[in-house]
Amino acid sequence: MMELFHEISRECSRITTERYSTSFSSAIRLLHKKLRTPIFNIYGFVRFADEIVDTFHQHNKKELLLQFKKETYEAIERKISLNPILHSFQLTVNEYNIDHHLIEAFFNSMEWDLEKTHYNKEAYNTYIYGSAEVVGLMCLYVFCEGRKELYRKLEPAARSLGAAFQKVNFLRDVKADFNNLNRTYFPGCDFCNFTEREKREIEADIQKDFDDAYHGIVQLPLTARFGVYVAYRYYLSLFKKIKQTEPHKILETRIRIPNYHKAMIVFKSSVRNQLNLM
């Protein structure tokens, strides 16, 4: 019956991923079958922590996050949790020997979201590392399946991909972050007077992250490459749409990629993959 509990816990993480992010869940389904469940497990964990700091305004978010953090480490140590999201996450952490430093850095960034609203350059880089780059590194542990030399080789690119995704999210979610949560992640940015020059500087930094990430994606094992490439193309498409948006409109709307466009991305990516053009 223990395997049934494992299965139910994994299902909870999969459902969480699918309900919160159709783009990520679609990309995960393009990974090799053996990689999908552990990546769902990582995303479910990350999503729950993010919900605590961004959504549960009627509750003591600091208390909830501290409890979630405590239960996370207990689950990893005991190799069991009655919280199915944490149980599935610990299964992946323990199976792939994911460095606990990555988990600690992630929680540090989540804790900053509880109180910190503005960032200088150093804090900005630290926050992005903990909130996004480490998530890419956790996934890289899964993709490399214990091959430490490959992990070290691809680590910079995985960090760049996580950073690119997060920075695009920042631009996409400016309306909610700035107006609803009073957060400004980009150093020195005043979104009440957001200029074209500031926007272009941010975009140039994001483009570099995308470029650096691509060199790592094409070196991933075949089991992971296509799914990660599709996620990369999703976000690159979103980024291009943001680049075409005037600065003042960034504050007025949340930019999205329509489903038909996502389907076209998968189709074109599949063709490039089959022709070995990635």
- What pLDDT digit, counting tens, does each position of 38-54 carry? 999 999 999 999 999 99
pLDDT at 275 over 60: no
Which whole number is the average pLDDT over 197-201?
Answer: 91
Of 24-28, 58-62, 106-110, 154-158, the range with the lowest mean pLDDT is: 24-28
| Beta-carbon contacts of residue 24 (< 8 Å; ≥ 6 apart) | 17, 43, 231
| C-alpha 265 chain-centroid distance | 19
Which whole number is the average pLDDT over 124-129?
Answer: 96
Q: How confident is the model at residue 177 (pLDDT cuts 50, 70, 90)?
A: confident
**Nearest to 214, CA basis, from 202, 204, 225:** 225
More confident residue, 225 or 271: 225
pLDDT given at position 174: 83
Long-range contacts: 201-207, Cβ < 8 Å, 24+?
202/167, 202/171, 203/239, 203/242, 203/243, 205/167, 206/164, 206/167, 206/168, 206/171, 206/239, 207/239
Is residue 214 a contact partner of residue 236, using CB atoms and an 8 Å limit?
A: no
Q: What is the pTM of this model?
A: 0.93
pLDDT given at position 277: 57
**Mean pLDDT of all residues belonging to the chain:** 92
Q: What is the CATH number of domain 2-274?
A: 1.10.600.10
More confident residue, 181 or 50: 50
Count of beta carbons in the 10 Å neighbourhood of residue 139: 26
More confident residue, 39 or 23: 39
Is residue 71 a contact partner of residue 45, using CB atoms and an 8 Å limit?
A: no
pLDDT given at position 67: 98
- What pLDDT digit, counting tens, does each position of 52-72 carry? 999 999 999 999 999 999 999
pLDDT given at position 179: 73
User: What percent of the chain is predicted at pLDDT more than 90?
Assistant: 75
One-letter amino acid of 42: I
pLDDT given at position 42: 98
184 φ/ψ angles, rounded to the nearest 5 degrees? -130, 105
User: What percent of the chain is predicted at pLDDT more than 70?
Assistant: 97
Pure H helices in 21-147: 22-28, 33-54, 61-78, 84-96, 100-115, 121-128, 134-144
pLDDT given at position 10: 97
| Beta-carbon contacts of residue 47 (< 8 Å; ≥ 6 apart) | 16, 17, 20, 21
Q: How confident is the model at residue 271 (pLDDT cuts 50, 70, 90)?
A: low
Which whole number is the average pLDDT over 201-221?
Answer: 96
pLDDT given at position 191: 80
One-letter amino acid of 210: F
Q: How confident is the model at residue 273 (pLDDT cuts 50, 70, 90)?
A: low
Domain ranges of the chain: 2-274
pLDDT at 278 over 70: no
**Nearest to 242, CA basis, from 266, 270, 207, 273:** 207
pLDDT given at position 274: 66
How long is the chain? Answer: 278
What CA dihedral angle connects 114, 28, 40 and 96, to 10 degrees? -100
